[in-house]
Amino acid sequence: MSKLPLIVVLSISLPVFAAELPADPLNSPAWSTIAGRYFKGQPVVFDARVKVTAPASAEDPLDVPVQISAEGLADVQEMLVVADLNPIQKILSYEPLHAAPSLAFRFKVEQSTPIRAAARTRDGVWHLGGVWLSAAGGGCTTPSYGSADPVWQTRLNEVRGRLWPADGRGTQRLRLRVIHPMDTGLANGIPAFYIDRIVLSDAKGLTLARLNTFEPISENPVLSFDLNGSGAVRVVGGDIQGNQFSAEITP
């Protein structure tokens, strides 16, 4: 027991990479908060190869389509997507183990905000790209459609998917739709209830990609992945209340 304080001291005094924080090209009022929360002590660069594609203005703040890509970067270990000015900033994190560093999804936005994608390469550097999304507000604190539309009550965690065959780059595209209300917990009287993990693997059991999703993902999530190889893909996932799903998507 006498060792305990020593160990604690060691763990908090580990050296940090005290890199200078680069200026934010998006000029976000929340940049230093976001940097401190998600990239503290880690090297950060803004990099044009990390692309976020979103509409200039959110037609439906509950369902904003976004695509992220770091196709020009080699060896992407992890991708992180945050919306600076959402009440819950973190939208997802993604490990494209045997997949292209790209992903498409839909999310809920509360007000105009930068959306950032960050890709961490093997050397530990975070490469950031992003865009401003203009929105009228309401997304994250409005009950999801799920609370008005009873579809999730009878079809919770039902998975639909489609595979498109490999293109010239050797990846096949998987699009998934899962029935889930994805409640944020911010709407009065409706507890947080969302899918927090999806793992994709191939027919041999090799894990292709791991995705962690958070409250801002739109209800009945629609997700598109570019996976290496070809053939059937196994989907396994679950939500924060212990409900699990699995499905096999065949070409």
Q: Interface residues with other proteins (CB under 8 A)?
A: 1, 3-4, 7-8, 10-11, 14, 77-78, 93, 95, 120, 124, 150, 152-154, 181, 183, 185, 188-193, 210, 212, 240-243
Give yes or no for a contact between 128 and 156, defined as CB atoms under 8 angstroms apart.
no
Tokens of 68: 């992220």
For 3, 16, 40, the CA distances from 7, given in Å and listed in that order, are 6, 17, 22
Tell me which amino acid residue 239 is: D
Q: Based on CB atoms, which residue is closest to other proteins, 93 or 113? A: 93
d(CA 80, CA 92): 6
CB of 185 to other proteins, least distance (A): 8
CB of 150 to other proteins, least distance (A): 6
Q: Based on CB atoms, which residue is closest to other proteins, 28 or 89? A: 89
**φ and ψ at residue 73, rounded to 5 degrees:** -95, 140
Tell me which amino acid residue 35 is: A
Tell the residue number behind the tokens 């009022």, with chain if given: 29
Q: Based on CB atoms, which residue is closest to other proteins, 9 or 23? A: 9
> Exposed, middle or buried, 5 (CB in 10 Å: 0-12/13-18/19+)?
exposed
CB of 116 to other proteins, least distance (A): 17
CB of 112 to other proteins, least distance (A): 28
Q: Based on CB atoms, which residue is closest to other proteins, 147 or 224? A: 147
The backbone region for 177, taken as left when phi is positive above 0, alpha when psi lies in -120 to 50, beta otherwise, is: beta
Q: Based on CB atoms, which residue is closest to other proteins, 4 or 23? A: 4
CB of 189 to other proteins, least distance (A): 5
d(CA 18, CA 142): 39
CB of 110 to other proteins, least distance (A): 21
Q: Based on CB atoms, which residue is closest to other proteins, 131 or 190? A: 190
